[in-house]
Each structure stands twice: as C-alpha cells, then as structure tokens.
Amino acid sequence: MAAKFGAKSTTEEVLAGVDLKGKRILVTGVSAGLGVETARALVAHGADVVGAARDLKKAQRATSEVGKTALKNGVSFELVELDLASLKSVRAAADKLAADGRLFDVIIANAGVMATPFGKTEDGFETQFGTNHLGHFVFVNRIAKLIKDGGRLVNLSSAGHRFSNVNLSDPNFSTTPYDPRGAYGRSKTANILFAVEFDRRHRDRGVRATAVHPGGIMTELARHMPDGAMEAWVKQIQEQLAAAGESPFEFKSIPQGAATSIWAAVVASAGDVGGRYCEDCQVAELISADSQVSSISRGVRGYALDPDNAKALWKRSEELVGEAFA
C-alpha cells in the first residue's frame, strides 16, 4: 500500500488522490453517523452510492448534503428501505435490488444497534443478534450475485467482539441471562465470522470480505445505554489502560471512524484484508487466548477468525432464518 494510515486518519485522508468514478457501492445505515459520512466521502470521490435505511424520511434528511454532492459530481445517490429487524423487509429490499440488476463493486454493511434492552426482532430473534448479524446475513447473501467479480464486502464489527464469542446453542438468550454488552459482543463476533466464511465461499471469483472496527465514536449507536452508562464504561476503560501502562482512550471523530470502512473497501489490497479484521486503517493482530485485554485495546480474538466457528455460525444462521445460501 502506498500510504500508512492510523487511528487518526480521516475519510478524506485515506481517499486522497483516489478516483472512484464508475464504482457503485451499497452502504447500509445511512440515516446517521458513520453511514452518512461513508456515503458522503464516497460520492465526493466519484462513486455512485445506494444507501439503505430503516427510516427513509430520516435518511433523506440526514443525507441531503450527500445528495447535493452527488449531483454536483455527476454521480448518483439513491435510497432503499431496509429494516434489518424484519426479514420481510430485508427480503423485499434484496428482491428490489436483484430485480434492478445493476451490480455493486462494494457492499458496506454499516447499520447496527448497540447495548439494547432485551427485546426481539419481528421474527423473534434477540434484537442485537437479529439486527446486526441475521438481518445482514440474509440481505447480503440474497444480493451476493450482484457483487462484481473482484468486489468486496465490508462488515462493521467492533472491539466489542471481545465481550463474547457467539452462542449457537442459545442465540436468543432463551436460557442464558441477558446482558446487553454480552449480546452486543455476540453480534459483533458474528459480523466477523460472517465475513470470514463469506470470504472463503466467494474468493474464487475474486470477491473478498473483511470486518472492521471503526473505533470509539460518539454516535446514535449508544442511544440505548442508560444515563451515565457510557461515562462509567469510559472511566473503567481509562483505569484499565492506566493500570496496563497504556495511553488513555480517545474518542474518534465521525470522519476518523468511517475511515477504516472506506480504507478496507476501496484503498487496501484485497489480499491483505480478505478474511481479516481491521482497525485504525490496518489489519489487526491476533490476541492470544490467555491475554487479558480491555474491550478497547487493539487486536482480534481468535474465536472471531476461526474458520470452523465461521462455518458453524453460517449453518446455524441458515437454520434460524429458514433459508440456505450456496
């Protein structure tokens, strides 16, 4: 790679000198935060972008400037309705795109929820696992044939994957006591494992998949956390880092947070990021199984990249949604 980027790199810095004219990219979750910035940066550099969102009116308001930038640059910006907590909506959105038939160079699965109170999706899945993983699992697989040969899938995961491995015997917390943070960890580990297995299944035609951690960013994602919970969590993190002799944690700006997604999607070498987990615009190092790290430290847990774990999650996901994918 021509340039070395890091935690403070922004979308504009990673895209400096990059011309995306002729590229068509799908981004989910374009009604706020990282999704909006991702779409903005892509159209600013010449890409045609399709944004997916649950609330189209909210997305239209949030992306009004994105639309203006697209018009100015002579590229397209379209919106499609997608509620990841409803497989009916997921399938309808995928069918609409399939019927349209136009191909994508990249899919960025950006949408998600975090630390929600216990609840279930329209189809009876635990909210975070159902929305963050199963919704994207069905949506992406249904439009996988629309990804051009040599294209990419980028799944937004999180350092929160270190909270928990997936639990394939009790994915909906039917017998396990519910913990918002643990449930989030399960879903974010699933995002990585989905990328690992998708990459294995599609690499023969040059399609590569990766998962990324955007960093800690103050966005709407934390809206479900109780008052004071975020502050208490950050305090705990700072104490852990201080005890380990590490530098204090710093929140990223939204342009810094969206940089890793874009870097992995259109800047990094496909061979470098395929089947991997990335953070701070770099491929993350594997954390040893006995390593004691905070949820905010760098690195990826082995269970999140384990190919057998990825295959097992894929099979269980197919069982849960009642649909098999080649």
Catalytic residues: 157, 184, 188
Q: Which residues contact 238 (CB under 8 A, 6 or more apart)?
A: 248, 249
Residue 217: which of 204, 242, 234 has the closest Cα? Answer: 234
Q: Which residue has the tokens 């136009």?
A: 102
The span from the CA of 28 to the CA of 22, in Å, is 20
CA distance 146 to 321: 21
How remote is the C-alpha of 96 from its chain's centroid? 22
For residue 260, give both structure tokens.
């890793």
Collapsing DSSP to helix, strand or coil, 5 comes out as: coil
How far apart (Å, rounded) are the C-alpha atoms in residues 43 and 275?
26
- Which helix (H) or strand (E) segment holds residue 200: the answer is helix 180-202
Q: In what order do the strands lie in the sheet with 24-28?
A: 77-81, 48-53, 24-28, 104-109, 147-156, 208-213, 277-279, 282-283
Measured CA to CA, the distance from residue 279 to residue 259 in angstroms comes to: 10
Q: Which two tokens stand for residue 99?
A: 């019927």
Other beta carbons less than 10 A from residue 82's beta carbon: 27
The token pair at 120 is 């279930």
Question: Angle at Cα 298 formed by Cα 292 and Cα 300, nearest 5°?
Answer: 75
| Farthest-apart Cα atoms in the chain, separation | 56
